[in-house]
Structure 1
Amino acid sequence: MNWYEDDDLWVGFADVMFPPRREAEAERLVGESPLFGLVAGQRVLDLGCGPGTHVVPLARAGAVVTGVDLSAAMLARAREACSRAGVEVTLVRADMREPVAPGGFDLVISMYTSFGYFTDPGDNLAVLRNAHAALAPGGRLLVDLMGKEVFAGWVGRPQAVDVQGGTVFMRDTVLDGWTRLRSDWTYVRGAEVRHASLHSTLYSAAELRALFAEAGFTDVECFGDFDGSPYDNHARRLIVRGTRA
């Protein structure tokens, strides 16, 4: 079983992956970021929607939202979040490489490094091609991840993150000539100790821009944050946006 197919991992480390501050951040980004450019009635697809962090504020803003995730446990949490917020969202359990309503969306998003889960580069290209097929002409794809250039500034320094009832110790290891990453997490909560290893593909801005073009996107742009700032030495994230012609 691949790491991302393990529901025990998503549930066990949910406090690390989806802290409460992310909900407030998502609400702010959807409302303020020029990269979303959201218009009421827009059809939005969230690939790797997790517990509904972005689908809820998108729906509140008037979008017609579909969330896709492979984890049944995360989709259950997303349904609960939508119910609490009083919004209607279509939630689908599926692999992000699988087609979802071809031509049915105006915006596709992939947030918080949900892109790059597959160690085979061809699979990651398949995700982009699937997103391209899901878009109507003129629609846009927005991918948010930790770019290789940003990641190089702090990789190798172990981290300890306090979460409710315990602490998570995190260590990253770069593999195969800066093409892949292994993140080892240990969650210590009282007498309970839980381990997990997450693997992903690392991308520079140039590499991801080229992959977007290979998938058929035009007008590909790279940004260093959701305020639309340039991807330079001050960048906090790598955000790539492309358009289906």
Structure 2
Amino acid sequence: MSSSYQEFAHIYDELMNDIPYDAYIDLLDLASTGVVGKKVLDIGCGTGLLSAMLSKKGASVTGVDLSADMLEVASNRARSLGLDIEFIQQPMQQLEVEGTYDIAVISIDSLNYVISQTDVRETFRRIYKALGKDGVLLFDVHSIFKMDEIFLEGPFVFDDQRITYMWQTAPGDEEHSIYSQLAFFVRQENGLFKRFDEVHMQRTFSVTEYVGMLNDAGFQIERIFADWEDEPPTDESERVFFQVRK
């Protein structure tokens, strides 16, 4: 990601308005018979929206993210809400936490930012180690269809009068990867727009490959579904969810 991530962190929440975070809570409630009193690892927590929601529900939350700028926003959010959430700056493939957890979640395709298959394997291995017996991991990733076809239908343009962006996409160097260049224009108080740019790389793998990596880490597969529905993935599913247990 580009060095302008500090700017991106402060508009991230507005860009994520259409993400049904409540659905993640419902899915975690279902997978773990409720989150109240549970120790939860929110991996790739970003600005801490999901961390805060889990904490409000009565979970003991630790948020982990690579970006110091994202974590600054997350910490300010927790402080302003009077929530006791621990935040740790770490790449997920180097996850190292004290104690054991009941639940781990990687939401909003954050795992797709881990490009190397070796690093994805290591991420699963470290999460397995961090979970206690019967601990559950829930995560979602972009499908191959979305990565190889939908993302390449760009360029994409977004404009809500305050934030405008132009998103150019191209195939990445790795199989089923995408290279994105985004130019953001954010309206300032004086009515002028400030520009900053972002470069992102994401990669996904087949459902079969994810299953193999999860099994190698020791996980038991409980549920694989797609696009927020209790249905198995199809060739044109866009977001694939995995619920697995230690």
1:174 corresponds in structure 2 to: 171
- Say whether the 8 Å CA contact 2:10–2:73 is kept in structure 1: no
SS for the counterpart of 1:124 is helix
Residue-by-residue CA offset, 1:193-223 (whole Å, 9 max, x unaligned): 3222211222222222222112221125321
1:78 corresponds in structure 2 to: 74
Residue-by-residue CA offset, 1:122-150 (whole Å, 9 max, x unaligned): 11211111111111111111111211134
Point out the more displaced range, 116-125 or 13-22: 13-22
2:70 is the alignment partner of 1:68 = no
Paired amino acid for 1:57: M
Paired amino acid for 2:80: R
Q: Counterparts of 2:239 and 2:181 in 1: how far apart (Å)?
A: 21
Q: Aligned match of 1:215 in 213, 217, 238?
A: 217
1:160 corresponds in structure 2 to: 157
Point out the more displaced range, 183-192 or 199-208: 183-192
Offset, 1:37: 4.5
Q: Counterparts of 2:238 and 2:33 in 1: how far apart (Å)?
A: 20
1:27 corresponds in structure 2 to: 22
Residue-by-residue CA offset, 1:69-121 (whole Å, 9 max, x unaligned): 12221111111211233321111122222243366111111111110323322
Point out the more displaced range, 149-158 or 122-131: 149-158
1:184 corresponds in structure 2 to: 181
Structure 1: 5+ residue stretches without partners: none
Q: Counterparts of 1:31 and 1:221 in 2: how far apart (Å)?
A: 15
2:97 corresponds in structure 1 to: 101
Residues 16 and 88 (structure 1), Cα distance of their counterparts in 2 relative to 1, 3 Å cut: closer
- Say whether the 8 Å CA contact 1:167–1:188 is kept in structure 2: yes
- Say whether the 8 Å CA contact 2:48–2:75 is kept in structure 1: yes
Q: Aligned match of 1:121 in 107, 114, 117?
A: 117
SS for the counterpart of 2:11 is helix
Q: Counterparts of 1:35 and 1:220 in 2: how far apart (Å)?
A: 9
SS for the counterpart of 1:49 is coil
Residues 17 and 237 (structure 1), Cα distance of their counterparts in 2 relative to 1, 3 Å cut: farther
Point out the more displaced range, 57-66 or 181-190: 181-190
SS for the counterpart of 1:154 is helix
1:12 corresponds in structure 2 to: 8
Residue-by-residue CA offset, 1:43-82 (whole Å, 9 max, x unaligned): 1001111110110110111111110112221111111211
Residues 32 and 242 (structure 1), Cα distance of their counterparts in 2 relative to 1, 3 Å cut: closer
Residue-by-residue CA offset, 1:148-170 (whole Å, 9 max, x unaligned): 13444522222111256341111
SS for the counterpart of 2:242 is strand
Percentage identity across aligned positions? 22
Q: Aligned match of 2:226 in 224, 229, 233?
A: 224
Alpha carbon RMSD of aligned pairs, Å? 2.6
Q: Counterparts of 2:35 and 2:185 in 1: how far apart (Å)?
A: 44
Paired amino acid for 1:55: S
Q: Counterparts of 1:102 and 1:142 in 2: how far apart (Å)?
A: 20
Q: Counterparts of 1:109 and 1:69 in 2: how far apart (Å)?
A: 12
- Say whether the 8 Å CA contact 1:29–1:226 is kept in structure 2: no
